[in-house]
Amino acid sequence: MRKINRPHNRQVPRPPKILKQCSFCFCSARKSFAFLLILVFFLSFPSFVFSQEKNPSKYGGQLVLATTSDPRSFNPIVAQETSTTAITSHIFEGLTRTNGVTLKVEPHLAQSWDISPDGLLWTFHLRSGVVWSDGVSFSADDVVFTFNDLIYNEKIPTSARDAFTIDGKIFKVEKIDDLTVKFTLPFKFAPFLRGMSQEILPKHRLERIVQENKFNFALGIDSDLKDIVGTGPYQLTEYLPGQRIILKKNHLYWRKSLEGEQLPFIEKIIYMIVQSQDTLLLKFLDGEVDYCSLRGADYPLLKPEEKKKNFTIYDSGPDFGSNFIVFNQNDGINPKTKKMFVDPKKLSWFANREFRRAVAHAIDKKRIIDIVMNGLGYPQDSAESPSAEFFYNPKVIGYDYDLAKAREILEKSGFTDRNGDGIVEDKNGYRVEFNLYTNSGSTDRVQMAAMIRHDLENLGMKVNLVSIEFNDLVSRLVSTYDWDAVMIGLTGGIEPHFGKNVWASDGQLHVWYPRQEQPQSAWEKRVDDIFNQAVQELDEPKRKVLYDEWQLIVSRELPAIYTVFGANIFAVRNKFENLHPTSFGGAFHNLEEIFIKEEYR
Amino acid sequence: MLKYIFRRILISIPLLLGISFLTFVLIQVTPGNFFDSLKLNPQVSPETIARYEALYHLDKPLLQQYFYWLKNLIKLDFGYSFFYNCPVSSVISGRLFNTFILSLASLIVTWTIAIPLGIWAAVHRNRLTDKILSVFSFAGLSMPSFFLAMLLLFLASQWGGLPLGGMRSANFDDLSDGGKIIDLLAHLVIPTIVISLASIASLQRIMRGNMLECLRQQYVLTARAKGLPEHRVVYVHALRNAVNPLITIFGYHLFDLLSGAALIEIICSWPGLGAVMLTAVRAKDLYLVMASMMMGAVLLLLGNLLSDILLAWSDPRVRYD
Amino acid sequence: MTKPRKSLSQFQIALGHFKENRLAVVCFWILVIFYLSAIFADFLSPYSFSNEDRNYSYCPPMEIKLIDARHEKKSIHPYVLGVYMTFDEFHKRVYKTDSNQKYPLKFFVKGDAYKLLGLFPADRHLFGVDAPGRIHLWGADSRGRDLFSRILFGARISLSIGLIGVTISFFVGLLVGATAGYYGGRIDNILMRVCEMFMMVPGFYLMLALRAAFPANLSSVQIYLLIIVIFSFIGWASLARVIRGMSISLKEREYVLAAKAMGLSDLAIIVRHILPHTLSYSIVAVMLSIPGYILGESALSLLGLGIQDPFASWGNLLSDAMNIAAVKFAPWVLIPGALIFVTVMCFNVIGDCLRDCLDPLLKSEVRS
């Protein structure tokens, strides 16, 4: 099906009046030569002066993307899943922004900021001339409203609140004048600037809704799209459930390019809702969609068609999410049954670091990459992804695939096969048998777990792969603690502190032993200290030293045994200019500056 | 008959209550709830999750939650969807039409093709057409539908002509009214074929089987002996009796189609209720699941009632005491 | 003088008709082969279902060569060539054969240990090659497991799930439906409402709920039985409704009224007079529902809730193949789909023929 591109306003430069006069001069040869010279000069003059305008305008055209599910809501405070933020990131903006290429924090709605010497007082100077898409001016009132009336509102459940609460204390947010806001922090908070990419919502439209206590269901997918007002480059114009979402350019957008051009260039963004990855691949090949992210297995399907179907495949490096194996080291007692959460004999294995080291050596990372990801992946040793760049520590302890070495380690710890049945027994004669849980929804993860299970069997451990529904798995990990080993995945990012609840010993996501009252071991105490120290350390290189140590400790103590990273590969149709794809930002992190080549409009 | 219908409707009410309670318990009895997905997010605190749960009354005991839901149901308030953060009625109404069209298309295609084919096969038993039809029927029955859907999409992408899933083209708004209808029909082709194929096959076999049975009855022999033209024998005498089990199936089909196409809707990107419900069940989006289940149950009861009425109308020997 | 013709029983008459239909007989023997292969899968397959060699990921089906021209004298014996895998520039797997590595095909080789019929320990397999060679008649899956072996083992699950489940729902559905139709009135009402309740119970929720309610470390055998129970739990109700519809009209037939007048017990009337006339529909319906079990198991595997790794069933083998990359580059993984197709067709043909054979009025037509 051919798309019909909407006609747009093209600004065609008008020739200056000088030309018209000269072209009608007919004189003698010398004069005519002189006039010819002048003519040539004036003809070329405009190309010097008006070169930018003569360049065909960059405006217009549409970008067609795909998303796997409907957005939950258009309310960025209440819903923060990727399906929602993919859309709301075009509509709402924060005071700062993370640059998709350099990964550094940049000013956005805030032009600049001052920090007091003790690091607790932050004064943001807001950009002037910014208006909401309904024409009302943006001001400090909106920032104060977003924090005090939305984020910190007890009646509104939002994870944004957790991001801006330290040790139970919230920040004080005050308006100084129309373009200045003051934040008073209870403690020094290094991730603060990065966290200030928090979306700001308009006070003038939402104040009354909040007072009537209706905010939780406001800005939902059933609302009038005209009510969704933001400062961002695009506005919602259409939403058909299950089918597509259309955003159109916000003509009042404040940002201009380096050459002074009003942004954004692209007129329309269409998100098609396609739930099946295979169908998306077909649509991409057919030309219906402009962008498609690839799994390793899809690569040989698309790569040969690159020239014919006019697109480019970008391999932007390792992904951020990781899959890892955790053993249950919880030695607590279930208050209801009065029995230990974990079978004591199993606990003695799982709590034994040598046991975990042996398992780490039994993970065939290269083969997992070959088989599950078609060779397009990276082995993982560290808790951070290499794509996190600054905080990534490459110098951690790695575990190569070596079954002989693994067996040796087990033997030294007393695990041998005494009765020749192929399964090792521990010092007390118990057969090593346990369950490896994973969630059935992710086929890649189940396949990885199945491969690891097979290898552990070669090692002499009887492992039962149990794949269960996601909710069941979460319930075990977070409430009942009824599990032996689990293979899960967590998405990562560039700011280590945002994963604190996994690494702090009292964190509820400290999977192997959540919510400890006291750190169970010396290394866990050290990690607690690192996180508490690093969050308050505003000097970046000093933070890096601390987080490097954390990654080294994790690789040594192996509370989590890492596997592989996928490669972040995506295909983009060759109709865009100014693309700077990266693993963190994807292909369109600088969407406002991207324009469509003329022949595709 | 009217008294019978009235009694049936009356009995349906405790039945619906029973089913709703059973489903409610089934969903809640499995561990966890919708907000478990938040629990694996390191940036969300337990207090925030508790707030979400309180907002939707998930912190109250099971029975209390059930009665709360029932009370709202009587007011025709189906509750809120956790996933979509908006009333369940808007989620359903946004997609009801899509599923309805697909089901209607499948129903029409299935019955208009299967019945005549079944009769034809029975009348021309064991001749070439019957054998060919048999092979096609068996093929249709044996093919896993999700696989067929994928195959058809793949072929459509190679040969062109048909759209690759979805319900409308990108330029839908620019088409004329006639163009819009054609666009919709074009998008309906692949999902309808996939959904109908198995039904056509099985229905055709059943029709054929029944017709054959009826054509061997004594009264058919008598009718032929009387000198009635063959088409009267087949269509007036045999057909009316052959149709008995089919009527019961028709009622059952009505229910089945509106709920059963989740996998195909997902593969063909058809924005219907099936796909939404599948995700809702797995994510434990409680009120959305309850609403769809109640809708399905009501449709089933109506379908069964309809088929019982039709049965009585078509077969004078049937009496309901 | 002609000998009086020995009177044949109903069953023998039916069998006679069946044998006349050549297609049905062929289908019958195909199914027999499938079932026997499933029972003796351990022996017939060169590898156990979990035997994997990751060097052979998505290995294509191997050719068995016969003529060995290595030596001056050409010898004829079956062998396979060694293969090795590389990734080409598109990250596609490319397998090249190495003609220097020849692995002769051997019979009654020693291989993975197993228990024949679950009782007798053994380790001989019908055919195989010496390590480090491998023989993949029908190719290998993503982890280098032999597809031929896994299909044979998978047959055990897929072929039996249909039979067992259908047997349960058949008997229950028939009895309930006939009883409801025959007695009518209140019994009919109650039974039909119960039927509707069972039909309305959403099978999928039930599956999820039961899976979660049972201890998570269910062995695959238990999951398998659970699947059967759930499917037949839902399945009998639709059959019962149709049988009830038929018996409502059947009970007014003259022979039924006559039997009643003769004083035959209700149960006897139902079993001997009503049910046989519903058989033609029931058998067709039962045969038509077997594929539903097999395909249903496949759909469950697609959602990750079916038979788990490392156990194989045709359903989970097919769902592993359900992506475009696999279909395009490793089409042999679709073989289980073809086998499901053939199995289901055989059941249908046989069911159809059985319906013809069991019809008591048929014999008059055939004889003439």
Which residues of chain C have a CB within 8 Å of the CB of A283?
none
CB contact, 8 Å: C213 with chain A? no
Q: How far is CA C248 from CA A232, A568, B7, C127, C358, in A?
A: 69, 64, 19, 58, 22
260-319 in chain B: CB under 8 A from chain C:
263, 278, 281-282, 289, 293, 296-297, 300-301, 304, 307, 311, 315, 317-319
Return the closest-CA partner of residue B147 out of C295, C111, A46.
C295
CB contact, 8 Å: C299 with chain A? no
CB contact, 8 Å: A270 with chain B? yes
CB contact, 8 Å: C304 with chain A? yes
Which residues of chain B have a CB within 8 Å of the CB of A498?
42-43
Task: Using pLDDT thresholds of 50, 70 and 90, give the confidence band for residue B168.
Answer: confident
- Token duo for residue A183: 């934040």
**ipTM rounded to 2 decimals:** 0.82
120-179 in chain C: CB under 8 A from chain B:
none
Q: What pLDDT is attached to residue A54?
A: 40
CB contact, 8 Å: C36 with chain A? no
CB contact, 8 Å: B268 with chain A? yes
Distance from CA of A303 to the nearest CA of C (A): 6
Q: How far is CA B195 from CA A567, B154, B272, B290, C235, in A?
A: 37, 17, 13, 25, 20
CB contact, 8 Å: C222 with chain A? no
CB contact, 8 Å: A466 with chain C? yes
Residue ranges of chain C whose pLDDT lies below 70: 1-11, 68-75, 202-219, 280, 284, 288, 355-356, 358-368
CB contact, 8 Å: A577 with chain B? no
Q: Is B171 exposed, middle or buried (0-12, 13-18, 19+ CB in 10 A)?
A: middle
Q: What is the pLDDT of residues C31-69, one digit of tens each?
A: 999 999 999 988 899 998 888 888 898 999 988 887 766
Sequence-ordered list of residues with C-beta below 8 angstroms from that of A522, at least 6 positions apart, any chain: none
pLDDT-above-70 percentage for chain A: 91
pLDDT-above-90 percentage for chain A: 60
Read off φ and ψ for residue A434, nearest 5 degrees: -155, 170
| Cα–Cα dist B116/B137, whole Å | 13
Q: Which of C197, C212, C344 is nearest residue B141 as measured by Cβ atoms?
A: C344
CB contact, 8 Å: B57 with chain A? no
CB contact, 8 Å: C359 with chain B? yes
Chain C: partners with 3+ C-beta pairs within 8 Å: A, B
Ranges A258-262, A277-281, A402-406, B264-268, most confident = A402-406
CB contact, 8 Å: A478 with chain B? yes
Distance from CA of A75 to the nearest CA of B (A): 9
| Cα–Cα dist A240/A273, whole Å | 9
| Cα–Cα dist C174/B77, whole Å | 41
Rama region for A389: left / alpha / beta (φ>0; ψ in -120 to 50; rest): left
Residue A14 has pLDDT above 60, yes or no: no
- Token duo for residue A503: 């690494």
Q: Note whether B252 contacts C238, CB cutoff 8 Å.
A: yes
Cite the DSSP H helix spans in chain B.
2-29, 36-39, 46-55, 62-74, 88-123, 128-142, 145-159, 177-215, 218-226, 230-232, 239-242, 244-259, 262-267, 273-283, 286-314
Which residues of chain B have a CB within 8 Å of the CB of A488?
40
Which residues of chain B have a CB within 8 Å of the CB of A279?
153, 164-165, 267-269
Return the closest-CA partner of residue A468 out of A492, A498, A497, A437.
A437
Nearest CA in chain B to C364: B216
CA dihedral A124, A125, A128, A130 (to 10 degrees): -10
Strands A121-126 and A180-184: antiparallel
Best of C200, C214, C344 to mutate (most B CBs within 10 Å, chain B):
C200
Q: Which residues of B174-189 are buried (b: 16+ CB within 10 A; e: fewer)?
A: eeeeeeeeebeeebbe
Helix (H) or strand (E) holding C101: strand C93-104
Give the predicted TM-score (pTM) of the model.
Answer: 0.83
Q: Which of C201, C246, C299 is nearest residue B22 as measured by Cβ atoms?
A: C201
Q: What pLDDT is attached to residue C20?
A: 79
Which residues of chain B have a CB within 8 Å of the CB of C313?
none
DSSP string, A24-47: T----HHHHHHHHHHHHHHHHHHH
Return the closest-CA partner of residue B287 out of B95, B49, B89.
B89
Q: How far is CA C367 from CA A234, C13, C360, C362, in A?
A: 81, 12, 13, 9
Q: How far is CA A369 from CA A264, A357, A564, in A?
A: 39, 21, 7
Read off φ and ψ for residue A237, nearest 5 degrees: -120, -20
Q: What pLDDT is attached to residue C321?
A: 84
CB contact, 8 Å: B150 with chain C? yes
CB contact, 8 Å: A569 with chain C? no
Helix (H) or strand (E) holding A143: helix A140-144
Work out the angle at residue A318's Cα, subtended by the Cα atoms of residues A315 and A324, and round it to the nearest 5 degrees. 145
Strands A485-490 and A322-327: antiparallel
Q: What pLDDT is attached to residue C4?
A: 67
Nearest CA in chain A to C50: A454
Size of interface A-B (CB pairs under 8 A): 171
Looking at residue A265, what DSSP letter applies? -
Q: Note whether A278 contacts C323, CB cutoff 8 Å.
A: yes
Across the range A104-116, mean pLDDT stands at 94
pLDDT-above-70 percentage for chain B: 97
Q: Which of A300, A447, A468 is nearest residue C325 as measured by Cβ atoms?
A: A300
Size of interface B-C (CB pairs under 8 A): 142
Cis peptide before A264 (omega within 30 of 0): yes
What is the C-alpha end-to-end distance of chain A, expressed in Å?
A: 16
Q: Is B179 helix (H, G, I), strand (E, B) or coil?
A: helix
Nearest CA in chain A to B279: A69
Return the closest-CA partner of residue A348 out of A409, A412, A414.
A414
Residue A8 has pLDDT above 70, yes or no: no
Q: Note whether C212 contacts B30, CB cutoff 8 Å.
A: yes
Q: What pLDDT is attached to residue A452?
A: 93
Average pLDDT over chain A, rounded to an integer: 87
Distance from CA of B117 to the nearest CA of C (A): 16
Nearest CA in chain C to A303: C90
Q: Which residues of B54-82 are buried (b: 16+ CB within 10 A; e: fewer)?
A: ebbebeeeeeebbeebeeebeeeebbbbb
Partnered with residue A246 across adjacent β-strands are: A238, A270
Q: Which of C208, C242, C299 is nearest residue B263 as measured by Cβ atoms?
A: C299
Sequence-ordered list of residues with C-beta below 8 angstroms from that of B302, at least 6 positions apart, any chain: B254
Nearest CA in chain C to B147: C322
What is the C-alpha end-to-end distance of chain C, expressed in Å?
A: 23
| Cα–Cα dist A248/C157, whole Å | 54
Across the range A122-140, mean pLDDT stands at 94
Q: Which of residues B165 and A63 earns the better pLDDT score?
A: A63
Task: Using pLDDT thresholds of 50, 70 and 90, give the confidence band for residue B198.
Answer: confident
Return the closest-CA partner of residue B49 out of B32, B35, B30, B65.
B35
CB contact, 8 Å: C211 with chain A? yes
Distance from CA of C150 to the nearest CA of B (A): 20
Distance from CA of C216 to the nearest CA of A (A): 7
Q: Which residues of C214-245 are buried (b: 16+ CB within 10 A; e: fewer)?
A: eebebebeebbeebbebbbbbbbbbbbbbbbb
Q: What is the pLDDT of residues A17-54, one digit of tens each?
A: 433 333 334 445 566 665 666 655 555 555 444 444 44
Which residues of chain B have a CB within 8 Å of the CB of A161?
45, 48
| Cα–Cα dist A450/A466, whole Å | 10
| Cα–Cα dist B270/B262, whole Å | 9
Q: Which of residues A444 and C285 earns the better pLDDT score?
A: A444
479-508 in chain A: CB under 8 A from chain B:
479-480, 488, 490, 498-502, 507-508
Which residues of chain A have a CB within 8 Å of the CB of C212?
468-469, 472
CB contact, 8 Å: A304 with chain C? yes
CB contact, 8 Å: B115 with chain A? no
Rama region for C120: left / alpha / beta (φ>0; ψ in -120 to 50; rest): beta
Residue A129 has pLDDT above 50, yes or no: yes
| Cα–Cα dist C314/C291, whole Å | 12
Which residues of chain C have a CB within 8 Å of the CB of A477?
none
Give me the half-sphere count of Cα atoms (radius 13 Å) on the Cβ side of residue A121.
8
Q: Note whether B244 contacts C359, CB cutoff 8 Å.
A: no
Q: What is the pLDDT of residues B220-237, one digit of tens each?
A: 888 888 888 888 888 887
Q: Average the pLDDT over each of A364-368, A453-457, B258-262 and give the range with the smallest value.
A: B258-262
Q: Note whether A508 contacts B39, CB cutoff 8 Å.
A: yes
Q: Which of residues C212 and B48 earns the better pLDDT score?
A: B48
Q: Are B238 and B216 in contact (CB under 8 A)?
A: no
Query: Scanning the structure block, which residue is given the tokens 């001069």?
Result: A25
| Cα–Cα dist C109/C127, whole Å | 6
Q: Note whether B245 contacts C242, CB cutoff 8 Å.
A: yes
Q: What pLDDT is attached to residue A44?
A: 53
Best of B35, B44, B147 to mutate (most A CBs within 10 Å, chain A):
B44
Q: Is C274 helix (H, G, I), strand (E, B) or coil?
A: helix
Q: What is the pLDDT of residues A312-360, one digit of tens each?
A: 999 999 999 889 999 999 998 888 888 899 999 999 999 999 999 999 9
